[in-house]
């Protein structure tokens, strides 16, 4: 199994939308896929149709109570895609973790305890902060995928994220990689977003995926139906972009970790 954290401490940059749709695309490509919702807002859980009353076992129990992956995983309506949902309890976990042993390794330990993993790939949807929840994700992950919104301040904050990655590499997870940066909410009618995309590519080079996620209203409508955009409207521009991104992501994964 390969574990991919989707992180950026800025809110509203497309982490959850990317997590839901890339996980769906990978499942559709035959990868047994798990999405761990690590944001107390639980938007990834809602977007995959797991209602608020259907979350008795969640990422909170996984981190705090030592529950197992198998205990907390819920099936979704999408074949091969399971989710570990998040509840508001998780906002308390950020504080509870402070006084717990190995507080940054709780998620890594839970994943390591899953000795015969039922999954080929695990995505972690991170909250918009660099607190203990995100540190748990980065400590547990093999690699990091960073959504970057095409806006004027896109690169601001990225250096802070990269510093955090370095710290995690030095102290908790020497093997943490960065699989790529994906530009989101791209609007080709807006010259500024074009300019931002060029600047980001100049700055980060090959780290940036060729696939760009356009601003697309279908992507923002889908969660209110409890469906990934890829199911809600598989032919829309946004869904097609996520399919392209998934292919590019799979091509970037180490050969020995490839499943289907
Ligand atoms: P994050 O998880 O980083 O906070 P979200 O994925 O929740 O970001 O996106 C923030 C908001 O923008 C949501 O309402 C989402 O539906 C919307 N959104 C995300 N990506 C797109 C896109 N490519 N086009 C249009 N709306 C988008
Ligand atoms: Mg989110």
Distances (CA, A) of 99 to 104, 111, 168: 11, 21, 19
Q: Checking phi first, is residue 205 left (phi over 0); if not, alpha (psi -120 to 50) or beta?
A: left
Nearest atom within ligand 1 for CA of residue 13: 3
**Protein residues with CB under 6 Å of any ligand 1 atom:** 11-17, 43, 128, 184-185, 213, 215-216, 219-220, 223, 238
Residue 80 has pLDDT above 90, yes or no: yes
Distance 40 CA to ligand 2 centre (A): 9
Instruction: Read off the pLDDT of residues 207-239 as tens digits, 9 standing for 90 and up.
Output: 999 999 999 999 999 999 999 999 999 999 999
The ipTM of this complex is 0.99
Nearest atom within ligand 1 for CA of residue 238: 23
Distance 13 CA to ligand 1 centre (A): 6
Instruction: Read off the pLDDT of residues 82-139 as tens digits, 9 standing for 90 and up.
Output: 999 999 999 999 899 998 889 999 999 999 998 888 999 999 999 999 999 999 999 9
* Ligand nearest to the Cα of 17, by number: 1
* Ligand nearest to the Cα of 7, by number: 1
Instruction: Read off the pLDDT of residues 42-69 as tens digits, 9 standing for 90 and up.
Output: 999 999 999 999 998 999 999 999 999 9
Model pLDDT, residue 36? 98
With bands split at pLDDT 50, 70 and 90, how would you rate the model's confidence at 145? very high
Q: Checking phi first, is residue 182 left (phi over 0); if not, alpha (psi -120 to 50) or beta?
A: beta
CATH code reported for the domain at 2-254: 3.40.50.300
Nearest atom within ligand 1 for CA of residue 39: 2
Domain boundaries, the chain: 2-254
pTM over 0.95, yes/no: yes
Distance 188 CA to ligand 2 centre (A): 24
């Amino acid at each position: 199994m390969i574990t991919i954290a989707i992180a950026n401490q800025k809110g509203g940059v497309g982490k959850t939308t990317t997590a839901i749709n890339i996980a769906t695309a990978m499942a559709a490509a035959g990868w047994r896929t798990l999405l761990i919702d690590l944001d107390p807002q639980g938007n990834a859980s809602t977007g995959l149709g797991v209602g608020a009353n259907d979350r008795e076992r969640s990422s909170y129990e996984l981190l705090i109570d030592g529950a197992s992956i198998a205990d907390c995983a819920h099936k979704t309506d999408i074949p091969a895609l399971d989710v570990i949902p998040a509840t508001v309890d998780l906002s308390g976990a950020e504080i509870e973790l402070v006084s717990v042993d190995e507080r940054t390794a709780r998620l890594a330990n839970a994943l390591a305890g899953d000795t015969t993993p039922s999954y080929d790939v695990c995505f972690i949807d991170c909250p918009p902060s660099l607190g203990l929840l995100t540190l748990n994700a980065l400590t547990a992950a093999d690699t990091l995928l960073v959504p970057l919104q095409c806006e004027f301040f896109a690169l601001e904050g990225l250096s802070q994220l990269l510093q955090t990655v370095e710290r995690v590499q030095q102290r908790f997870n020497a093997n943490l990689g960065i699989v790529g940066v994906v530009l989101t909410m791209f609007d080709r009618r807006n010259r500024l977003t074009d300019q931002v995309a060029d600047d980001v590519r100049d700055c980060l080079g090959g780290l940036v995926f060729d696939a760009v996620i356009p601003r697309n209203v279908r992507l923002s409508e889908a969660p209110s139906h409890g469906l990934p955009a890829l199911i809600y409207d598989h032919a829309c521009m946004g869904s097609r972009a996520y399919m392209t991104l998934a292919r590019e992501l799979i091509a970037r994964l180490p050969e020995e970790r490839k499943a289907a």
